[in-house]
Amino acid sequence: MQKSSSLLLLAAGLISFGSLQAQDIKPTTEKALQESVDKHKAMLASTPLHNFKARNVGPTNMSGRIVDIEVAQDINTYYVAAASGGIWKTEDNGQSFNPIFDHQGALGIGAMALSPSDNNILWVGTGEDNSSRSTYAGAGVYKSTDAGKTWQMMGLVHSHHIGQILIHPTNPEIVWVGSMGALYSKNKERGLYKTTDGGKTWKKTLYIDDNTGIIDIQIHPTNPDVLLAASWERFRQAHDFIGNGKGSSIWRSEDGGNTWKKAVVGFPQDEFTGRIGFDFSRSNPSVVYALLDNQAKSEKPADPPRQRGNQQQEENPLKLEDFKDMTLDQALALDDKKLESLARRSQFSSKYTPAEIKRLLKTGKITTAQIANYNGGAVDANAAMFGQPIIGAEVYRSEDAGKSWRKVSESDISQLYNSYGYYFGEIRVSTSDENEVFVLGVPLLVSRDGGKNFSRTDSIGRPHSDHQAMWINPQDSKHILLGNDGGLYRSYGGGARWDHMNTQMPISQFYSVMVDQATPYHIYGGMQDNGVWFGKSTNKPEDLWEPLFGGDGMVVAVDTRNNDIVYTGSQFGNYARINKKTGERKRITPGHDIGNAPNRWNWRTPAELSYHNQDIVYMGSQYVYQSFDQGNTWTTISPDLTKNKKSGNVPFATLSVVEESQLEFGTLYAGSDDGNVWVTRNNGGNWTSLNAGLPQDRWVSSISPSRYKEGRVYITLNGYRYDEFNTYVFKSEDYGKTWKSIKANLPEESTNIIIEDPKMPNILYLGTDHGLYVSMDEGNNWNLFQGEIPNVAIYDMVIQERENHLIVGSHGRSVYLVDLKQIHDLAQPGPMVMEK
Is the pLDDT assigned to residue 829 strictly greater than 60?
no
Is the pLDDT assigned to residue 504 strictly greater than 90?
no
Angle at which helix 336-345 crosses helix 354-362, to 10 degrees, equals 100
Rounded Cα distance between 373 and 410, Å, is 42
Report DSSP state, residue 811: B
> Average pLDDT in the 803-818 region?
98
Rounded Cα distance between 512 and 808, Å, is 9
Torsion of CA 590, 593, 596, 602, to 10 degrees: 0
pLDDT at site 498 = 95
Answer for the pair 65, 108: CB distance below 8 angstroms, yes or no: no
> Average pLDDT in the 771-775 region?
98
At 670, give phi and psi (nearest 5°): -140, 145
pLDDT at site 302 = 56
Give the H/E segment covering residue 143: strand 141-144
Report DSSP state, residue 313: G
Task: Show the CA angle centred on residue 70, arms to residues 69 and 76, nearest 5°.
Answer: 105
> Average pLDDT in the 87-99 region?
96
Pick 390 or 704 by higher pLDDT: 704
The string of DSSP letters for 325-366 reads T--HHHHHTS-HHHHHHHHHHTT--TT--HHHHHHHHHTTSS
Distances (CA, A) of 200 to 142, 204, 573, 731: 12, 14, 49, 45
Rounded Cα distance between 687 and 349, Å, is 23
729: which strand partners?
Answer: 716
In this structure, which amino acid lies at residue 562?
Answer: N
Answer for the pair 228, 286: CB distance below 8 angstroms, yes or no: no
Q: How far is CA 530 from the centre of its chain?
A: 11
Quote the mean pLDDT of the chain.
Answer: 93
Of the listed ranges 416-420, 433-437, 676-680, the least confidently predicted one is 416-420
Number of residues in the chain: 836
pLDDT at site 757 = 98
**List of residues 6+ apart from 13 with CB closer than 8 A:** none
Distances (CA, A) of 73 to 101, 106, 262, 386, 474: 21, 28, 34, 41, 10
Is the pLDDT assigned to residue 834 strictly greater than 50?
no
> Average pLDDT in the 96-101 region?
97
Of the listed ranges 416-425, 429-438, 660-669, the least confidently predicted one is 416-425
At 797, give phi and psi (nearest 5°): -145, 150
> Average pLDDT in the 163-177 region?
98
Could you read off the pLDDT of 597-656 as tens digits, one per residue? 999 999 999 999 999 999 999 999 999 999 999 999 999 999 999 999 878 899 999 999
Could you read off the pLDDT of 314-353 as tens digits, one per residue? 788 999 999 999 999 999 999 999 999 999 999 999 899 9
Could you read off the pLDDT of 711-737 as tens digits, one per residue? 999 999 999 999 999 999 999 999 999
- E strand map for 421-530: 427-429, 437-440, 444-447, 455-456, 467-472, 480-484, 487-491, 499-500, 510-515, 522-527
All domains of the chain, ordered by start, with CATH? 6-26+508-827 (2.130.10.10), 318-383 (no CATH)
Could you read off the pLDDT of 222-276 as tens digits, one per residue? 999 999 999 999 999 999 999 999 999 999 999 999 999 999 999 999 999 999 9
Task: Give 629's Cβ-side CA count (13 Å radius).
Answer: 8
Rounded Cα distance between 247 and 212, Å, is 6
Is the pLDDT assigned to residue 743 strictly greater than 50?
yes
Q: Dihedral of CA 773/776/781/786: which sign?
A: negative
> Average pLDDT in the 4-16 region?
36
Distances (CA, A) of 221 to 112, 224, 569, 689: 18, 7, 47, 62
486: which strand partners?
Answer: none
Cα end-to-end span (Å), the chain: 32
Of the listed ranges 91-100, 325-334, 372-381, the least confidently predicted one is 372-381
Confidence class of residue 377 from pLDDT cuts 50, 70 and 90? low
Is the pLDDT assigned to residue 540 strictly greater than 60?
yes
Torsion of CA 689, 694, 695, 699, to 10 degrees: -60
Rounded Cα distance between 227 and 693, Å, is 53
Answer for the pair 268, 289: CB distance below 8 angstroms, yes or no: no
Q: How far is CA 65 from the centre of its chain?
A: 11
Of the listed ranges 300-309, 772-781, 798-807, the least confidently predicted one is 300-309
pLDDT at site 442 = 95
Answer for the pair 141, 156: CB distance below 8 angstroms, yes or no: yes
Instruction: Give yes or no for a cis peptide into 520 (omega within 30° of 0).
Output: yes
**List of residues 6+ apart from 354 with CB closer than 8 A:** 334, 336, 339, 340, 343
Which pTM was predicted?
0.94
Rounded Cα distance between 426 and 254, Å, is 23
Greatest alpha-carbon pair distance for the chain in Å reads 84
Pick 50 or 803 by higher pLDDT: 803
pLDDT at site 376 = 84
pLDDT at site 23 = 59
The string of DSSP letters for 375-424 reads STT---HHHHTS--SEEEEEEEEESSTTSB-EE---S--GGGTTT-GGG-
Rounded Cα distance between 662 and 703, Å, is 13
Rounded Cα distance between 417 and 390, Å, is 10
Is the pLDDT assigned to residue 300 strictly greater than 60?
yes
Q: Dihedral of CA 696/675/593/666: which sign?
A: negative
Task: Give 79's Cβ-side CA count (13 Å radius).
Answer: 27
pLDDT at site 298 = 87
Could you read off the pLDDT of 263-275 as tens digits, one per residue? 999 999 999 999 9
Rounded Cα distance between 836 and 833, Å, is 10
Rounded Cα distance between 245 and 240, Å, is 15
